[in-house]
Amino acid sequence: MPATRPDGRAFPADFLWGSATAAYQIEGAADEGGRGPSIWDTFSRTPGKTLDGDTGDVAADHYHRVPEDVALMQALGLGAYRLSVSWPRVQPTGQGAFNDEGLAFYSDLVDRLIAAGIKPVVTLYHWDLPQALEDAGGWTVRATAEHFGRYARRLAEVLGDRVHLWTTLNEPWCSAYLGYASGVHAPGVTDGAAALAAVHHLNLAHGLAVREIRDVLGADAPVSITLNLHVTRAATDDPADLDAKDRIDTIANEVFLQPILEGRYPERVAADTASVTDWSFVQSGDLEIIRTPLTQLGVNYYSTGRVRAGTPAVGDGGPGPDGHRSSAHSPWVGADRVEWLPQPGPHTAMGWNIEPKGLVDLLLELRDRYPALPLVVTENGAAFEDVPDADGRVHDVERIAYLHDHVDAVGEAIEAGADVRGYFVWSLMDNFEWAYGYSRRFGIVRVDYATGERTPKDSAAWYAELVRTNAVPPVDAVVPALTV
């Protein structure tokens, strides 16, 4: 896959270049340090739920390799690192007593990052709900949102103003619909009504957490949420196809954007989902809490989708980040008459189509709708079949081309007036790709899972060059490879 966009586009002087990971995907040490079980421990240890039965028990062993991993980031020249806190590591049952050893782990990590000149961007929830809370109803019940608020407060007290940017939730779309509707993610429930209740309780959890963080750290405390907004296009201009696109936009994007940024649920959602739920879980005053103003909006972007009116095939989970293993149950609650069409290539090893223009379109739409809200691309990247050479080096030209074109797309959006403050490559290192286990590699650093050894890929050297020059390097800019 060759690059399709020009080299050399320059970025604003204070633009933040980072990389992203998530606790369950890299830490391992699942039963160490006083950590309690999460829904992903339970799910991944259940036969048939993940490819090859992979679990995050060891993952990239980051828990035991923090100094080495921070040194790696320093060698890359990163300005920021987006990590997530494992809720059950710091509060084993999700309520009540906190685990000092878990809190100390993140406090130490944050100190080390700052000492290395790297700004910590901290996500409070990247999908690893304490199992005890799931046993009490998980995101389908309101109490989970309230527990999340108290957990956020404690983290704010412990990490305080050392955190450059707080992110309450990562991709609540996945937590709600993949967790409770299609069931391809933990906790593996397949119930549309449960998924919509989860949508609301995740929104409420977000709002409560923003308020708790600001209560502890002051009204200026920098807080965000990260959404995986879906860029979906209608196959034709036929009203039925346009309606299919609208329906998907509503259920995928608007049920998060509108409550969080405008204080209301989208108008058509009640009618679209009337056969599933009456939304009586929304209580008076909730939307006020949910729309507490944000400092920035995090955007994760990988690919695009295309729909038309029709009957979906059984197991049609849709494209892109949503396809995360197909299921007999659709994640698209209330969209029984929407058909997803295959997207033209090229595709990544996830089967996701590569379309950098989708990122430009998304950022510009957000600029138009919320002009005062700064944006940050909190994830973007690609899995490819990496083949190490005899020296263990990975010449991942396809990943470089993908990053090259998407970074240029961000630059194009900035030049067109989008206020984008940073970009975080997914991911710093190969890791546990949820239901796909270790079969999909997204890292710019290779991880040998047998030994834990880290080897920067060519894309890491390319990314370091991007950070160093603050302009898009040519795809072949980087020899020799980065060494740590």
Contacting positions for ligand FCB (CB under 6 A): 22, 25, 170-171, 174, 228, 300, 321, 379, 426, 433-434, 442
| Closer residue to ligand FCB, CB minimum distance, 79 or 321 | 321
- Give the DSSP H or E segment for 261: helix 255-262
Residues 279, 196 contacting (CB under 8 angstroms): yes
422: β partners: 16
Q: Which of 27, 134, 171, 212 is catalytic?
A: 171
3-state SS, residue 114: helix
- Min dist. Cβ of residue 324 to ligand FCB (A): 8
212 is annotated as an active-site residue: no
379 is annotated as an active-site residue: yes
| Closer residue to ligand FCB, CB minimum distance, 134 or 379 | 379
| Closer residue to ligand FCB, CB minimum distance, 27 or 433 | 433
Amino acid at 24: Y
- Min dist. Cβ of residue 413 to ligand FCB (A): 20
From 215, 201, 132, 130, select the one nearest 166 (Cα to Cα): 215
Q: Which of 27, 134, 339, 379 is catalytic?
A: 379
Tell me the residue nearest to ligand FCB as measured from the CB.
321
| Closer residue to ligand FCB, CB minimum distance, 320 or 334 | 320
Would you state the structure tokens that stand for residue 126, as one six-digit string? 């990247």
From 108, 109, 35, 111, select the one nearest 69 (Cα to Cα): 109
| Closer residue to ligand FCB, CB minimum distance, 162 or 325 | 325
- Give the DSSP H or E segment for 201: helix 192-217
The DSSP symbol for 142 reads H
**How far is the C-alpha of 393 from the C-alpha of 455, rounded, in Å?**
7
- Min dist. Cβ of residue 436 to ligand FCB (A): 9
- Per the listing, tokens 């009456």 go with 278
| Closer residue to ligand FCB, CB minimum distance, 73 or 234 | 73
Who contacts 290 (Cβ-Cβ below 8 Å, separation ≥6)? 203, 204, 206, 207, 259, 260, 263
- Min dist. Cβ of residue 239 to ligand FCB (A): 32
Cα 337 to Cα 313, 316, 329, distances in angstroms? 10, 12, 14
- Min dist. Cβ of residue 190 to ligand FCB (A): 20
- Per the listing, tokens 């898009």 go with 472
Residues 122, 84 contacting (CB under 8 angstroms): yes
Residue 473, preceding bond cis, omega within 30 degrees? no
| Closer residue to ligand FCB, CB minimum distance, 93 or 226 | 226
3-state SS, residue 365: helix
- Min dist. Cβ of residue 72 to ligand FCB (A): 19
- Min dist. Cβ of residue 424 to ligand FCB (A): 11
Distance in angstroms between the alpha carbons of the first and the last residue of the chain: 28
Q: Which residues are catalytic?
A: 171, 379
